[in-house]
Amino acid sequence: MSSTLAGWLQALALVGALALCYRPLGDYIAKLLTSAKHLRVERGLYKLVGVDGDADQRWPVYLRSVLAFSALSILFLYGLIRLQNHLLLNLGVPVMEPHQAWNTAVSFATNTNWQSYSGESAMGHLVQMAGLAVQNFVSAAVGIAIVAALIRGFTRNRTDRVGNFWVDLTRICLRLLLPLSIVFALVLVANGVVQNFHGFHDIVTLGGDTQSIPGGPVASQEVIKELGTNGGGFFNANSAHPFENSTGFTNWLEIFLLLVISFSLPRTFGRMVGDNRQGYAIVAVMGIFWVASAALITFAESQHSGSALQAAGAAMEGKEQRFGVAASGLFAASTTLTSTGAVNSFHDSFTPFGGGLTIFNMMLGEIAPGGTGSGLYGMLILAIVAVFVAGLMVGRTPEYLGKKLGGREMKFASLYILTTPALVLIGTGVAMALPGERAGMLNSGPHGFSEVLYAFTSASNNNGSAFAGITVNTPWYDTALGLCMVLGRFLPMVFVLALAGSLAQQQPVPATPGTLPTHKPLFVGLLSGVVLIVVGLTYFPALALGPIAEGLH
Concatenate the DSSP letters of all residues of 299-339 into one string.
HHHHS--SHHHHHHTS--TTB-TTTHHHHHHHHHHHHHHTT
Q: How far apart are the first and last CA of the chain?
A: 35
**Helix (H, G, I), strand (E, B), or coil: what is residue 36?**
coil
Task: Identify the segments of the chain with pLDDT beneath 70.
Answer: 1-4, 304-315, 439
Those residues whose C-beta lies under 8 Å from the C-beta of residue 165, and which sit 6 or more positions away, are: 57, 62, 65, 66, 69, 145, 149
pLDDT at 3: 64
How much of the chain is helix, strand and coil, in % rounded to 5? 65, 5, 30
- Is 171 domain-assigned? no
CA 96, CA 78: separation in Å to the nearest integer? 10
Q: Name, in order, each residue with C-beta under 8 angstroms of 425's C-beta and a sequence gap of 6 or more.
A: 539, 542
List helix spans (H) across 94-217: 98-109, 119-122, 125-126, 134-155, 165-171, 178-190
Separation between Cα atoms, residue 424 and residue 506, nearest integer Å: 35
In order of 239, 301, 324, 344, 474, the CA distances from 77 in angstroms are 23, 38, 37, 26, 20
Are 432 and 449 in contact by the 8 Å Cβ rule? The answer is yes
Assigned domain for 125 exists: no
Q: How many domains does the chain have?
A: 1
Q: Cβ-count burial of 129 within 10 angstroms (0-12 exposed, 13-18 middle, 19+ buried)?
A: middle
Q: Is residue 436 part of a domain?
A: yes
Asked if residue 402 is part of any domain, the answer here is yes
Contact 504, 162 (CB under 8 A): yes
Among candidate residues 372, 368, 332, 553, the one with its CA nearest the CA of residue 454: 332
Name which of 450, 453, 451, 460 is nearest 481 in CA terms.
460
Give per-residue burial for 455-490: e unless 16+ CB within 10 Å, then b: bbbbbbbbbbbbbbbbebbbeebbebbbbbbbbbbb
Helix (H) or strand (E) holding 77: helix 59-82
Task: Report whether 110 contacts 493 (CB < 8 A).
Answer: no
Residue 482 belongs to domain spanning: 376-552
For strands 403-404 and 399-400, give the pairing: antiparallel
Neighbours of 424 (CB within 10 A): 27
Say whether 202 sits in a helix, a strand or coil.
Answer: strand
Q: Tell me, yes or no, whether 60 lies in a domain.
A: no
How far is it, in rounded angstroms, from Cα 125 to Cα 147?
33
Does residue 533 form part of some domain?
Answer: yes
Residues forming beta bridges with residue 210, ordered by sequence position? 204
Q: What is the pLDDT of residues 465-514, one digit of tens each?
A: 998 878 888 999 999 999 999 999 999 999 999 999 999 999 998 888 77
Beta strands in 319-458 (DSSP E): 399-400, 403-404
On whether residue 541 sits in a domain, the answer given is: yes
Phi, psi of 198 (to 5 degrees): -70, 150
Rounded to whole angstroms, the Cα distance separating 422 from 440 reads 23
Full-model pTM: 0.95
Cα separation, 472 vs 353, whole angstroms: 24
In a domain? residue 540: yes
